Amino acid sequence: MKKTAFVTGSSRGIGREIALKLAEENYTVFVTGRNKEDVDKTVQEIKSLNGQALSWVGDLTTESGLKEALSFVEQNGGSLDLLVTNIGSGKTSQEVVVELAEWKRVFDINFFSAVGAINTFLPLLEKSKGQVVCISSIAGIEKISVALSYSVAKAAVLSLVQQLMRPLAAMGVRINAISPGNVWIENGSWDRKMKENPTRVNDIIQNQVALKKFVGADEIAEAVWFTVKNPSITGQNIVIDAGQTRQWP
């Protein structure tokens, strides 16, 4: 029977590449997002490559959205082998003191979206003896020039993976994290930054990144697949950053 994957935030960017990779590896992929045009475009792209995909449009940072998504999965076979939590955004204030409401908003997007998805789909994953992959960030393991609230939220994702590893293993479910560095996506954040201030961006890449390059979104997708296909990997954080971080696990 064909395996299924639910990828949150998979209509564009890193999530899109993950969806494409999983479809290439013979998964039926639930492609999700809030913009119907983007979701449908990714689904059609997968189908044009002879893959199988289903579209779900809604907000997975809300309880109602998660309930609707679960119902959609149950109506379309009712099984799930892989959950990839990819929703995230670093767009917030760089100040040290930020309103509590903004902290909560950033955590809702970057941390509680992962918690909510895991809680919602865990019964299906336990039944299939499936797995979870959480997309975090190098901001969660080392201080870099991003917002404080975003860094802390991504660190919380990594802690979540570590703390869930043993209880999920007892249920037959694996969980891992991927921490990307500077990922280049056309019309993405680094593309916009390059257009706004190429001197500063080139300085970061040349002086802070050992390989002096951006990371490709397809490389993140390959890392996800690496954890999926290796049955002995769980509770791990795989860093894909072209040599930017200096922390050693």
pLDDT, one tens digit per residue, over 170-226 is 999 999 999 999 999 988 888 888 889 999 999 999 999 999 999 999 999 999 999
More confident residue, 186 or 150: 150
- Check the CA dihedral 35-218-29-235 and report its sign: negative
Please identify, in words, the CATH class of the domain defined by 4-185+214-240: alpha beta
For the segment 106-140, what is each residue's pLDDT rounded down to a tens digit?
A: 999 999 999 999 999 999 999 999 999 999 999 99
- What is the model's pTM? 0.95
Q: What is the pLDDT of residues 74-89, one digit of tens each?
A: 999 999 999 999 999 9
pLDDT at position 249 is 59
Residue 1: pLDDT over 80: no
Report the pLDDT value the prediction gives residue 189, as an integer from 0 to 100: 84
Counting residues of the chain whose pLDDT is more than 90, the rounded percentage is: 86
Q: Is the pLDDT of residue 9 over 90?
A: yes
